[in-house]
Structure 1
Amino acid sequence: MDTMSNDSPIRTDPGKRGWVHAALARLEQESARSADTHLLRLDFPGFPGIAFYFKDEASHPTGSLKHRLARSLYLYALCNGRLDEGQTVVDASSGSTAISEAWFARLLGLPFIAVMPACTAPQKIHAVQALGGQCDLVEDPAQVHARAARHAAEGACHLDQFGLAERATDWRGNNNIAESIIGQMCREAQHEPTWIVCGAGTGGTSATIGRYLRYRRLDTRLCVAEPTGSGYVHGWRSRSREAVASQPTVIEGIGRPRVEPGFLFAVVDAVVEVDDAASIAAATQLETLLDSRYGGSSGTNFAACLTLATRMRAAGERGSIVSLLCDRGKRYSDTLFDATWRRDHGLDIAPWQTAIATALERGELVAPD
């Protein structure tokens, strides 16, 4: 069998499946080299008896929790016979998934096209291009799926994160974020989390966590943190797969305008809506607390954690809340973390910054007037 390194091309053997076997071996090598991500604990004076944990998915080689998903999507495509040597790979993505998919495409020696809304953060576009990927920018974000399907019709392998995320990942284990969280929590005082909090981009993460909690017969509840008025929010409440968003969001990666195929409502116990300004303010607070910058969806998660903790404290509950740090904040230096950009988008985060700082001291998150 060939010995492979990151820089050497994948060489095929005479067998029909030679390239596929070599590609699978390379993905297995990559997985074995990747250490698990850190689980960080924070305690706040306003919430005695409630421990906060944040799983740092931004520490993956491609800088986000989508590294796990991208690996799973490539494995799924290879094992289902949809991806062959030299074939172009395509997917619709606002950035983080595309960056991870471009990284794996380079690892396997494959061309990659990311179909992205033209309004995607420039840092994300540049990251895909730096990895050798091509960005097909679409003015109307609602058309990214159709554009990706057009590339697929021309012979590309469509990884289809939105259509396949909830089935591409093995929710019983193996590259499973829920399994990792529960394993890391087993030696903590509150080893069975009261809540796990995540967003809903493709629906894959929430589906995986929700299924795994049931599979392990755990009482841990799952909360989806979403931008106010997202498609998921309305779909979860009405159980309608025809639901659409009632307002847009600037928080990339979550807050989908429609109900995606991977959204499983029944495995989610609660949904917390978070204003965009609150998400950004919470992300700035995370930077202060952890001395590292994370993206807007991490802020959305943190704000939802504080909402749940407020409810727990009011009810006299103790326990732990686990959430995700989704991606690196430097990707949003020109947008969410830029004061001029926020002003141009009518986002005043100062009141929410005060509200969040107060909540950490007093144990109650109150929305500013």
Structure 2
Amino acid sequence: MSDSWRERALAALSAERIARHPTPLRRYPLPLDWPVSLYVKDETTQPTGSLKHPFARDLIADAIEAGKVGATTRLIEASSGNMAVASAYFALLLGLPFTAVVPHTTGAAKLARIEKYGGTPHRVDPPLAVYERAAELASETGGHYLDHLGTIADSVDARLADRDHGLAPAILAGLPEGTPPEWIVVGVGSGACSRAVGGYLRRHGYPTKVAVVDPEHSAYFPGWATGCADYATGMPTRIEGIGRPRMEPAFDPAVVDLVIPVPDAASVAAMRHLAATAGLRAGPSTGAAFWGSCHLLHRMRQYGTRGSVVMVAADAADAYTGTYYDDAWTMAKGWDLATPAAALSRFPRTGAWPDQG
């Protein structure tokens, strides 16, 4: 591999990071007399529309530094979602070919997001074969399989000592009160975000706690609650972006203080409520984070705890206009959105919140 290309590529990735303004930290409108506040860290404003953007950049930088990627190496990832889109963006920036190995059922809207940045979708069947096929493609083409589910933990851990790099320090620097929040709420898919945020807070001695929201059929809540590191449900989740049928390697339960199970209908209702009340059109995983944040705010008020909650808005609504924002599509799923929607509407008026059981 040419040292000059390596240096140019790493410099380009570093320049891209430095050039980015911090994503907004917006205060959500709650009653002024409440002793608690809610902030939304809006990662939907990342160039590729999701919090996966910086994770993909770091993962590719690590592969270049390790000598696994050169000037003509094809980058390959097994993903049809935000990680694929972000990886395609950085491959285009570096002039590298990119292939996203996706399930054969992947819709046109998702494929278009990958192709927008010059990526090539490669369909496979059955859906779970994407990982094996991505590894095969890398071997057949001399490419590099990014394998974010298997490698992102090391990438995150390598940067935890950097006080200026990552989501957690950006949140802490942006709070107007000048004091750390009581809670930071994130979704969990690969486990990278909770690992990065929780790991940073622990390493640097902040008292802030980390809450993870988890959809139905996901392994994270039961695995965390039982202490079973290899817990698996074997069932796909219906909330895109979060939840997995198994505990992924990057998920670190030691840096997570609470996992909040969120009903699927509540995630969707909360996503729509957030758009209506704050003008933030985000995806369903952000709805789950909003629902979980309301639960924590209610609990703080119950126990007389003052302070703030920060929730992370994970991705923009662009990929979901024909699904989670479409009434006919959600009705076909059998979701009752009216009940959680009523709870969300009632919360700022009365402070009442559904019993979590």
Could you state the TM-score of these two structures normalised by the residue count of structure 1?
A: 0.91
| Aligned 8 A contact 2:221 2:259 in 1 | yes
**Residue among 73, 77, 86 paired with 2:63:** 77
Deviation at 1:121, TM superposition (A): 5.2
SS of match in other structure, 2:250: coil
**Structure 1 residues 100-111: aligned runs within 5 Å:** 100-111=86-97
State how far apart, in whole Å, the 2-side matches of 1:111 and 1:329 are.
27
| Aligned 8 A contact 1:46 1:361 in 2 | no
| Aligned 8 A contact 1:203 1:262 in 2 | yes
Could you state the TM-score of these two structures normalised by the residue count of structure 2?
A: 0.94
Deviation at 1:240, TM superposition (A): 2.0
SS of match in other structure, 2:12: helix
SS of match in other structure, 1:233: helix
Match of 1:144 in 2: 130
**CA pair 363-172 structure 1, distance change in 2 beyond 3 A:** farther
State how far apart, in whole Å, the 2-side matches of 1:235 and 1:118 are.
30
SS of match in other structure, 1:293: coil
Match of 1:7 in 2: none
Worse-matched range after superposition: 350-359 or 236-245: 236-245
Match of 1:175 in 2: 165
Q: Find out whether 1:265 has 2:231 as its counterpart.
A: no
Match of 1:134 in 2: 120
Match of 2:269 in 1: 281
**Residue among 284, 289, 293 paired with 1:301:** 289
Match of 1:63 in 2: 49
State how far apart, in whole Å, the 2-side matches of 1:47 and 1:162 are.
43
| Aligned 8 A contact 2:262 2:292 in 1 | yes
**CA pair 218-234 structure 1, distance change in 2 beyond 3 A:** same
Match of 1:358 in 2: 346
- Superimposed CA distance per residue, residues 78-105 of structure 1 (whole angstroms, 9 cap, x where no aligned partner): 1111111111101122311111110111
**Structure 2: where are the runs of 5+ without partners?**
none
Q: Find out whether 1:291 has 2:279 as its counterpart.
A: yes
| Aligned 8 A contact 1:352 1:367 in 2 | no
State how far apart, in whole Å, the 2-side matches of 1:140 and 1:193 are.
43
| Aligned 8 A contact 1:294 1:326 in 2 | yes
- Superimposed CA distance per residue, residues 150-191 of structure 1 (whole angstroms, 9 cap, x where no aligned partner): 222222211111112222131223531111111112x416x2
**CA pair 106-297 structure 1, distance change in 2 beyond 3 A:** same
Worse-matched range after superposition: 346-355 or 203-212: 346-355
State how far apart, in whole Å, the 2-side matches of 1:46 and 1:115 are.
49
Match of 2:150 in 1: 163
SS of match in other structure, 2:194: helix
Match of 1:112 in 2: 98
| Aligned 8 A contact 1:89 1:105 in 2 | yes
SS of match in other structure, 2:77: strand
Q: Find out whether 1:123 has 2:109 as its counterpart.
A: yes
**Structure 1: where are the runs of 5+ without partners?**
1-14
**Structure 1 residues 6-17: aligned runs within 5 Å:** 16-17=2-3
SS of match in other structure, 1:225: strand
State how far apart, in whole Å, the 2-side matches of 1:333 and 1:137 are.
23
State how far apart, in whole Å, the 2-side matches of 1:44 and 1:120 are.
39
SS of match in other structure, 2:310: strand
Percent sequence identity is: 37
**Residue among 217, 227, 233 paired with 2:205:** 217
Cα RMSD (Å):
1.9
Match of 1:20 in 2: 6
Worse-matched range after superposition: 117-126 or 161-170: 117-126
